[in-house]
Amino acid sequence: MFGSRLRFGKRDERFAAPAVDPAPVPAPTPAPAPTPAPSRAVGITAPRPRPHAFSEASLRAQIDELLAAKQNARAVGALIDALPQLHAAGFNIKEKLSNLIFLGKRIQDAGGAKYGHAKLRAKIRSVTGFLKGHELPRGGFVELGCGAHDPVALATFFYLNGFAPAYGIDLLAPRVPEFSALSMYDIVANMALFPQRYCWRGTDPAVFRERLDRIDVAQFEGGNFAAGVASVGEVDLLIEDLLDCDLAPASLALLTSFAVLEHVTDLPSVFARCRDLLVPGGIAYHFIDMADHRSYRGDGAFGTFAFLFEHEAPANMNRLRAPDFVAAALDAGFEVLVDRRIKGDLSEADRARLVAPFSAMALDDVTIIKQHLVLRKPL
């Protein structure tokens, strides 16, 4: 179980998941200062307007406007920048906390956060969308490189839908287990309130509900991640290397990964291990993010293709391009069911900056920045 297998090794920040919105963070627009009422009493000086008087309504409006424009990172920046004004505002401390909690939650629920049901539902939409029309055998589930935030959220979704056992596996332990627990509390609550969002492919709602009801939500509510995970039926978190773990061969119906394969150094071994873990007919879904991850820092110093202009790869990026992933999958014995590629824009000027081997590649191959692969282990 989670408790016994967990190895709190050294955290590797280099694997930080990409931010959704890399736009620079603007300074918040200060609310207009109130005009002081003229003093009628002779000799009494009218109060000087406070510079940048804080208005909850204007901060809310600013955050909402940024979220409506899908500028989630800028909304985070606006909230952070408003902290000194919020702190100095003349209303009580509980109201200040309410602003922090609920504006933060609004940003999280708009997507792009590393925690929460909005992120989980985006992942579910992606996997289930790409699996449409493809039959799955019975068996277990693994999310490879499940990350250090909501590491068992997707495994829980698949467990509730009949995949057992279901695991998240990652080299990294949860970054803040208490946050992961609180996030699972929100996720389980959302599942309980909107089961139709999470019941997939004809899963019997009664069975789904029965499994859900057995989760000890109070453990998650109390911040006890390990105890909460232990209560989720046949779901577990493995803090291990996929290549060394002792999962049973030919036991998985489905394996997924999000933004993992662009980091692995030994792709043939990872694909071979995925193939060995799947039952015949089992499916692997991989979302691969081939953009230079430094472009997500938000400082504008690196573009999507910047690492293709350098002779050395940045730490933990393998710089493989879309055809490399397909070739490795075929070499490992997979059938490729879906190969969906999304291109970025490479200007003429930047094209001239490409170094070998990228300069010699077909432009179409170099400019793919995202790839969804659905692979099947042949029957």
d(CA 163, CA 251): 11
Of 259 and 332, which has the nearer Cβ to ligand SAM?
259
Asked whether position 292 contacts ligand SAM by CB under 6 A, the answer is no
Of 62 and 143, which has the nearer Cβ to ligand SAM?
143
**Residue in this structure with the two tokens 């056992």, named with its chain if needed:** 165
Asked whether position 341 contacts ligand SAM by CB under 6 A, the answer is no
Q: Which stretch binds ligand SAM (CB under 6 A): 64-72, 235-243, 300-308, 330-338?
A: 235-243
Q: Quote the least distance from Cβ 149 to ligand SAM, whole Å.
A: 6
Both tokens of 201, joined, read 């492919």
Q: Quote the least distance from Cβ 334 to ligand SAM, whole Å.
A: 18
- Select from 169, 267, 290, 322 the one that contacts ligand SAM (CB under 6 A): 169
The dihedral through the CA atoms of 104, 224, 126, 233 has a sign that is negative
Number of neighbouring beta carbons within 10 Å of residue 99: 20
Of 155 and 171, which has the nearer Cβ to ligand SAM?
171
Asked whether position 192 contacts ligand SAM by CB under 6 A, the answer is no
Task: Measure Cα distances from 313 to 125, 266, 326, 347, 352 in Å.
Answer: 32, 15, 21, 21, 18
Of 149 and 211, which has the nearer Cβ to ligand SAM?
149
Q: Quote the least distance from Cβ 247 to ligand SAM, whole Å.
A: 11
β-sheet bridge partners, residue 339 = 373
Number of neighbouring beta carbons within 10 Å of residue 155: 28
CA 370 to chain centre: 15
Of 142 and 215, which has the nearer Cβ to ligand SAM?
142
- Select from 166, 252, 260, 291 the one that contacts ligand SAM (CB under 6 A): 260
Phi, psi of 125 (to 5 degrees): -60, -40
- Select from 188, 242, 277, 320 the one that contacts ligand SAM (CB under 6 A): 242
Q: Quote the least distance from Cβ 321 to ligand SAM, whole Å.
A: 18
- Select from 145, 174, 177, 228 the one that contacts ligand SAM (CB under 6 A): 145
Q: Which stretch binds ligand SAM (CB under 6 A): 36-44, 86-94, 164-172, 188-196?
A: 164-172
Q: By the 8 A CB rule, do 283 and 259 touch?
A: no
Residues 3-42, mask of contacts with ligand SAM (x by CB under 6 A): ------------x-x-------------------------
β-sheet bridge partners, residue 284 = 255, 375
**3-state SS assignment for residue 102:** helix
Q: Quote the least distance from Cβ 83 to ligand SAM, whole Å.
A: 26
Asked whether position 358 contacts ligand SAM by CB under 6 A, the answer is no
Q: Quote the least distance from Cβ 188 to ligand SAM, whole Å.
A: 19
Buried-state track 331-340, b at ≥16 Cβ within 10 A, e below 16: ebebeebbee
**Residue in this structure with the two tokens 């990409």, named with its chain if needed:** 18
Task: Measure Cα distances from 26 to 111, 280, 343 in Å.
Answer: 20, 52, 28
Q: Under rule CB under 6 A, how many of the chain's residues touch ligand SAM?
A: 19
Asked whether position 376 contacts ligand SAM by CB under 6 A, the answer is no
- What 8-state DSSP symbol labels residue 247? P
Which residues, at least 6 apart from 226, have a Cβ–Cβ distance to it below 8 Å? 2, 3, 6, 177
Q: If phi over 0 gives left and psi between -120 and 50 gives alpha, with beta otherwise, what is residue 319?
A: left
Q: Quote the least distance from Cβ 243 to ligand SAM, whole Å.
A: 5
Kindly list the residues in this chain that would bind ligand SAM in the complex (CB under 6 A): 15, 17, 144-148, 169-172, 241-243, 258-260, 263-264
